[in-house]
Amino acid sequence: DGRVIAVLATPEKGTSSDMAIGVSGLPPNYSTTEHTHRAEEIATIVRGSGTITIDDEPIPVRTGSIVITPPHARHITTSSPDEPLVVFWAYSPAGSEGRWLVSDSENQKTT
């Protein structure tokens, strides 16, 4: 869908015990689908600017911003129209990152 996502730590791969950590790169003028999860999430903006909307409240973000999303809160991340947005994220408990993981057999097919 245009994003680049790297899951750096997850229990599913044995790289953490109960949290997920990763980096997402969003192209300019991109919005994630509104979603929720049971995890509390912290997002640190590594590069770019945009908005993180939590339960309909837009929060402007830029390089260096840190936003904590409460468990079960509806949220959307949107990059600015001018530049990509790079977000380092971590949440616990882990679980919803599984949708981005590629199994070893699928990875071997694509390399």
Across 39-53, average pLDDT: 97
Mean pLDDT taken over the chain: 90
Alpha carbons 9 and 49: distance in angstroms, whole number: 25
Query: What is the value of pTM for the model shown?
Result: 0.85
In percent, how much of the chain has pLDDT > 90? 78
End-to-end Cα separation, the chain, in angstroms? 20
User: Which pLDDT does position 110 carry in this prediction?
Assistant: 41
pLDDT at 49 over 80: yes
pLDDT at 105 over 50: no
Across 58-80, average pLDDT: 97
